[in-house]
Amino acid sequence: MPSLLGFNEKAIVKNFLIHEAMREFDALHDDDTSNDSILGNVFDEGMGVQFVDYFLTNVPEQGSCTADGIIFQPFGVSKGQGNSGDQIDPSCYITKNCLIKKLTWQYTLYGNSTKPRIGYLKIEMLGEDETIEVKRPADEAELISLGEPNELEGVFVITTFQMSDDILRLRVCGSKKAVDFEKAFEYYTLWPLSSRAKKTLREAKKNEKAQERMANRASRRSKAAQADQQV
């Protein structure tokens, strides 16, 4: 079955064995601080790819149904030019316009509901300072109340999008880091990546590594300063 579905059989077995070993480890040790550091290293080195679906609204687990507006495929996001509005349109492959670095959204407050709607969505694109906001016009915005802001930051792609006055369906998939996002598309058969999308991911990976080096240097300087104070 794994080979028929295009999955890496060795990675599946490895991830399962590591998961089971960690459960046994947790059961034998009560020292949370030591466990966290050890398990963190295991996750970083052995758990393969961090790639997740995020259901920001309730989306039924079913196949695509264009009649109901349910489409599971990448969506490109583009800033409107001139009199044209911003666009969120389905795509057959991952383009540069599909890659998102941050999502901020607010649910509408219509009381308790099993189908929450999103009344405000802010999309920040990866690799450039371009922001797109999806919201009601100013004269209609006063008619609804919005909840607290929610955020997702990393590398994401919209895979389901439908809206009327508010956003009815929104699902995204992605990773906290560009390196994991890229690995996911190498390991699994998802959608093709355009050349510009690959270039944008490479640049994002370089930025992540540079930030990690700066954070490590700052951490070493902080530890050295603390050691000096103790002396």
Residues 128, 31 share a domain: no
Residues 107, 20 share a domain: no
For position 197, what pLDDT does the model report?
92
The most confident of the ranges 55-59, 204-208, 215-219 is 204-208
Residues 57, 21 share a domain: no
Greater confidence, 75 or 115?
Answer: 75
Q: Are 24 and 35 in contact (CB under 8 A)?
A: no
- What domain range is 174 assigned to? 51-216
DSSP 65: B
Give residue-wise pLDDT tens across range 161-189.
988 888 988 999 999 999 899 888 888 77
Greater confidence, 91 or 82?
Answer: 91
Residues 30, 108 share a domain: no
Taking residues 14-29, report their average pLDDT.
70
Q: Does residue 221 belong to any structural domain of this protein?
A: no
For position 158, what pLDDT does the model report?
94
Instruction: Please count the structural domains in the chain.
Output: 2
For position 46, what pLDDT does the model report?
45
Residues 161, 128 share a domain: yes
Q: Which of 230, 114, 206, 101 is nearest to 158 (CA)?
A: 101
Q: Does residue 59 belong to any structural domain of this protein?
A: yes
Residues 119, 210 share a domain: yes
Q: What is the pTM of this model?
A: 0.70
Residues 119, 71 share a domain: yes
Task: Report the alpha-carbon distance of residue 96 to residue 202 in Å, rounded.
Answer: 12
**Model confidence band, residue 129 (pLDDT cutoffs 50, 70, 90):** confident
Q: Does residue 130 belong to any structural domain of this protein?
A: yes
If you write DSSP's letter for every residue of 115-174 in order, what string do you get?
S--EEEEEEEETTS--EEEEE--HHHHTT--B---EEEEEEEEEEEEEESSSEEEEEEEE
Q: Does residue 13 belong to any structural domain of this protein?
A: yes
Task: Report the alpha-carbon distance of residue 118 to residue 182 in Å, rounded.
Answer: 29
Residues 68, 34 share a domain: no
Residues 105, 195 share a domain: yes
Q: Does residue 36 belong to any structural domain of this protein?
A: yes
Q: Which of 149, 193, 146, 151 is nearest to 176 (CA)?
A: 151
Residues 71, 28 share a domain: no
Q: Which of 125, 120, 118, 121 is nearest to 79 (CA)?
A: 125
Give residue-wise pLDDT tens across range 30-65.
554 444 444 444 444 445 678 888 989 876 665 556
Q: Are 92 and 104 in contact (CB under 8 A)?
A: no
Residues 153, 40 share a domain: no
| Helix, strand, coil % in the chain, rounded to nearest 5 | 40, 25, 30
Greater confidence, 25 or 187?
Answer: 187
Q: Does residue 228 belong to any structural domain of this protein?
A: no
Q: Does residue 2 belong to any structural domain of this protein?
A: yes
Token code pair at residue 199: 């270039």
Residues 174, 209 share a domain: yes
